Amino acid sequence: MEKALKDFYFHFHTKQHYFLCHDILEEAWKDNEHFRKDDAVVSLILLATGCYHFRRANYKGAMRSFSKALNVIEAYTDAIDLGIEIESYKTMLLELIEAAKNNDNFVPIQLPLTSNMQQAILKSYPNFTMTDYTIEDSYIVNHHLERDRTEVHAARLQALQERKNSKR
């Protein structure tokens, strides 16, 4: 999970590729055979989803995701090691909920990383930075629309064909 967190924070802050961030942590979370929907890391997965929606001006989706992220993390204290200051993170989520509620313009989120996490990220990613301007690359902003879905479409067609064959 530590590598996934470093990857998540790099892509979250430097690239603002929130869709990818969601996928990175979700995959690592599900690799744990005892994963639960109330695990602390789920809050970060939901945060990434909220940021993706917020940047695209889907305020309702952003508010819902940020609220769920807050609900999950409320049970945790700084004792949980996600590499962030948990209480500051909770405050940030409250501010994000309010910003989405008010249909505010998106501004890049800078998570309250611990100094240990910042150092760990820099070891893996020497070019790590907290980008302070909104990245507008269409492939990143509209990733769910522009990504290569060839494998997904092929799998759906295969499943459809198998259902048709089983009805014969």
114 secondary structure, DSSP code:
-
Residue found under tokens 């479409």? 153
126 secondary structure, DSSP code:
T
Q: 116-131: per-residue pLDDT in tens?
A: 999 999 999 999 988 7
What's the CATH number of domain 2-136, 1.10.3450.10, 1.10.1530.10, 3.40.50.1400, 3.90.226.10? Answer: 1.10.3450.10
Helices (H), the chain: 2-10, 18-31, 40-55, 59-73, 86-101, 115-124, 138-141, 143-146, 150-166
Q: What is the pLDDT of residue 19?
A: 81
pLDDT in tens, the chain (168 residues): 789 899 989 988 888 888 888 888 888 888 887 877 888 889 999 999 999 999 989 999 999 999 999 999 998 876 568 999 999 999 999 999 999 999 999 999 999 999 999 999 999 999 998 878 676 655 555 545 444 444 544 455 666 676 677 776
Q: What is the pLDDT of residue 5?
A: 92
Whole-angstrom distance, CA of residue 66 vs CA of residue 50: 6
The domain locations on the chain are 2-136
Q: 75-108: per-residue pLDDT in tens?
A: 887 656 899 999 999 999 999 999 999 999 999 9
Q: Which of 69, 55, 77 is nearest to 97 (CA)?
A: 69
